Amino acid sequence: MGYFTDTARALATTMRNVFRTPVTVEFPKVIRPRAVRYRASFALPDDENGEVACIGCLACERICPSRVIKMRTTGKRDSPVTGKKRNYVDEFVLDLSACIQCELCIQVCNSDAITMVREPEVPSFEREDLVLDLTKLRANAHEKTASWGRGTILQEMQEAPKAAKPAPKKVAPAAVPAAEVAPAEAAPLEKEPA
Amino acid sequence: MNGLLHGAVYGAVIASALLSVIAVGIWFERKFAGRMQSRLGPTMTGPVGLLQPVADVIKLLQKEDIVPRDADRHLFDLAPVLAVLCSLGTAAVIPFSPEVIASDLDVGVVYVLGIGGLMVIPTFMAGWASNNKFSLLGGMRAIAQSVSYGVPLVLAVLVPVTLSGTLSISGIVAWQSAHHWTAVWPVIPGLPAFVLFFMAMLAESNRIPFDIPEAESELVAGITTEYTGAKFTLFYMGEYVHTLVGSALGAALFFGGWDGPFRPGLHWMVAKTLLLFAVVYWVRWSLLRFRSDQLMDICWKWLTPIGVGLVLLAAAWVTFGGAG
């Protein structure tokens, strides 16, 4: 008997759908709003002096699970802006076609020198177009919106919560309506367990 | 000679009309299926995707015609042609109006069941000739299913035949328009007989939820696994024709065929056929596939005894009263 009621329910469900507005949209014409942490491509932003912030420490190259980052650095030299000695990256190649968008390279960067950008789809007709070199990555930093995640923010999230001391402080912000706190920035910090 | 000419002309007209309806039917199915799943369906090809069947056929015809090395070449080529012929052949005795009928056979019901039952031969032929285990399994399942479901199909069709006392389909329709539609009165053998007919018809044309001969999850594509391009298109078309003719037969036997007020008979028949056609797709996109053993269970333990009971009820109705 259950079979007959289930059949009737299945038929009713599909018929109800026929008279409802479809939930899908015609993608290239209509683009839904992206999630807060949406990210696609990469950028190498400048530091406060207007130079490329990356010091070629190889941290991102080492952690990359799909090994799509290759960089070369020639060691310290004088900065033309500040005159101080610092490391420079001379070659930086990121193969977006094999990237799995895991954001690990962003997380390990201590100098916030690599970020992801909120560029929508990055299709291309040539594979070479997906291989990002230093020029393209720096251009991305100037032309495209950076995504939410940066090395220092993400590392702070990973830290163990400071015992007892911040706890009484957190009581007051909790009373603030949730809508006033930017959801992506506030929520994960507080939910982080020990 | 006049009858032969009449048959040739009307047969050609009805066959081409059916094939044109199928072109629109493909679009309708895809659009309807999309809406049932809260999707849009085809939108890019022509206005509201109306040219989708054209795109589909062009795509299918462009495909390479592959014949497996160990296949039985002649049977392999013959099967799709026979599949279309068998399904189109059943359309010959369907009365679309008192005049629009290719051949008004006295034993139309027997003819339809016979030719419709022949469908199992090209199906198994395809399964055998492909020389592929999935195809062969599909073909064997098709035989088991068609032979089993032929029984409830015949029993269901016997109800209108018993009530009207004729084997001619146009005779049955004429009786219905003089008395009452089979599915409406007497309700007890009539409406269940239609449900029985509908289920058996779905099973005979291998449609979901009775599509175990080509169960994708088990048999790749069953009998059509090795078919590509134009030959696959023929199978595809044969399936649609079979469904459409089955719907027309259901409309004629149980819903009074051309009978209806205000409009010419042809309009009513076409409307009823298309409505049943739509219901087939509604069922198709709503239900899940049966398992092989469930299928046999339903047929032999439920549909067949119920069918026998319905025929007896119809006979009692005719003998003891009701029928005028």
CA distance A189 to chain B (A): 37
Q: Is residue A33 in a domain?
A: no
Of B32, B35, B287, the CB nearest to A22: B35
pLDDT for residue B1 is more than 70: no
Q: Is residue A4 in a domain?
A: no
Of B60, B63, B42, the residue nearest B51 (C-alpha): B42
Q: Is residue A13 in a domain?
A: no
Q: What is the pLDDT of residue A93?
A: 92
List of chain A residues whose C-beta atoms are within 8 Å of the C-beta of residue B43 = 26
In the chain, the amino acid numbered A163 is: A
In this structure, the answer to whether residues A96 and A173 fall within a common structural domain is no
pLDDT for residue A17 is more than 70: yes
Q: Is residue A2 in a domain?
A: no
List pLDDT tens digits, range A102-161: 888 999 988 888 988 887 767 788 888 888 888 888 888 888 888 888 888 888 888 877
pLDDT for residue A101 is more than 80: yes
SS3 of residue A47 by DSSP: coil
**How high does pLDDT run on average in chain B?**
86
Q: Is residue A1 in a domain?
A: no
List pLDDT tens digits, range B73-109: 888 989 999 988 888 888 888 888 887 787 888 888 9
Q: Please check whether residue A94 is in contact with residue A104, taking contact to mean a CB–CB distance below 8 angstroms.
A: no
* Mean pLDDT of the region B113-129: 88
Q: Do A11 and B283 touch (CB under 8 A)?
A: yes
Q: What is the pLDDT of residue A186?
A: 43
Q: Residue A43 phi/psi, 5° resolution? A: -150, 150
pLDDT for residue B308 is more than 90: yes
If you ran DSSP here, which 8-state letter would residue A77 be given?
E
In this structure, the answer to whether residues A64 and A143 fall within a common structural domain is yes
Could you identify the residue written with the tokens 């177009």? A129
CA distances from B72 to A49, B67, B134 (A): 77, 9, 16
List pLDDT tens digits, range B16-42: 888 888 888 888 888 888 888 888 888
In this structure, the answer to whether residues A174 and A128 fall within a common structural domain is no
CATH code of the domain containing A137: 3.30.70.3270
SS3 of residue A102 by DSSP: coil
pLDDT for residue A175 is more than 80: no
In this structure, the answer to whether residues A140 and A65 fall within a common structural domain is yes
Q: How confident is the model at residue B304 (pLDDT cuts 50, 70, 90)?
A: very high
In this structure, the answer to whether residues A116 and A76 fall within a common structural domain is yes
Q: Is residue A9 in a domain?
A: no
How large a percentage of chain A has pLDDT more than 90? 6
Mutate: best of B28, B36, B202, partner A, most A CBs <10 A: B36
pLDDT for residue B66 is more than 70: yes
In chain A, the residue whose alpha carbon lies closest to the alpha carbon of B44 is A26
Residues forming beta bridges with residue A95, ordered by sequence position: A131
In this structure, the answer to whether residues A113 and A170 fall within a common structural domain is no
Q: Is residue A74 in a domain?
A: yes
Q: What is the pLDDT of residue B154?
A: 92
Q: Do A11 and B36 touch (CB under 8 A)?
A: no
Q: What is the pLDDT of residue A189?
A: 44
Token pair for B122: 């090209």
* Mean pLDDT of the region B119-128: 88
Q: Do B39 and A7 touch (CB under 8 A)?
A: no
Q: Please check whether residue A20 is in contact with residue A128, taking contact to mean a CB–CB distance below 8 angstroms.
A: no
Q: What is the pLDDT of residue A167?
A: 53
Q: What is the pLDDT of residue A191?
A: 43
Q: What is the pLDDT of residue B157?
A: 92
H-type alpha helices, chain B? 2-36, 52-62, 73-90, 108-118, 120-129, 133-164, 169-178, 187-204, 216-219, 229-254, 265-284, 292-297, 304-319
Least confident of A84-88, A135-139, A173-177, B296-300: A173-177
Cis before A183 (ω within 30): no
In this structure, the answer to whether residues A99 and A138 fall within a common structural domain is yes
Token pair for A7: 């059949």
Question: What is the β-pairing status of strands A76-78 and A115-117?
Answer: unpaired
Q: What is the pLDDT of residue A187?
A: 44
List pLDDT tens digits, range B197-238: 998 988 888 777 787 777 777 777 778 888 888 888 888 888
Q: In degrees, to the nearest 5, what angle opens at C-alpha B81 toward C-alphas B78 and B84?
A: 145
pLDDT for residue A169 is more than 70: no
- The torsion of the CA quartet A174, A178, A183, A189, rounded to 10 degrees, works out to 10
Least confident of A37-46, A182-191, B168-177: A182-191
In this structure, the answer to whether residues A120 and A181 fall within a common structural domain is no
In chain B, the residue whose alpha carbon lies closest to the alpha carbon of A9 is B286
Of A7, A15, A17, the CB nearest to B37: A17
In this structure, the answer to whether residues A103 and A141 fall within a common structural domain is yes
* Mean pLDDT of the region B235-262: 87
B interface with A, Cβ–Cβ < 8 A, is: 32, 34-40, 43, 282-283, 285-287
pLDDT for residue A185 is more than 50: no
Of B34, B43, B282, the CB nearest to A15: B282
Could you identify the residue written with the tokens 């004629």? B252
Q: What is the pLDDT of residue A81?
A: 80
CA B236 to chain centroid, in Å, comes to 13
| Separation of alpha carbons A96 and A99, rounded Å | 5
How large a percentage of chain B has pLDDT more than 70? 99
- The torsion of the CA quartet B290, B292, B297, B303, rounded to 10 degrees, works out to 60
Domain that holds residue A181: 160-191
In this structure, the answer to whether residues A47 and A125 fall within a common structural domain is yes
| Separation of alpha carbons B168 and B191, rounded Å | 20
In this structure, the answer to whether residues A93 and A167 fall within a common structural domain is no
In this structure, the answer to whether residues A46 and A96 fall within a common structural domain is yes
Burial readout B204-226 (b: 16 or more C-beta within 10 A, e: otherwise): bbbbbbbbbbbbeeebbbbbbbb
Q: What is the pLDDT of residue B179?
A: 83
If one counts the domains in chain A, the total is: 2
Q: What is the pLDDT of residue A64?
A: 92
pLDDT for residue A166 is more than 80: no
Q: Please check whether residue B204 is in contact with residue B51, taking contact to mean a CB–CB distance below 8 angstroms.
A: no
Question: What is the β-pairing status of strands A85-87 and A41-43?
Answer: unpaired
CA distance B39 to chain A (A): 5
In chain B, the residue whose alpha carbon lies closest to the alpha carbon of A23 is B38
Q: Is residue A118 in a domain?
A: yes
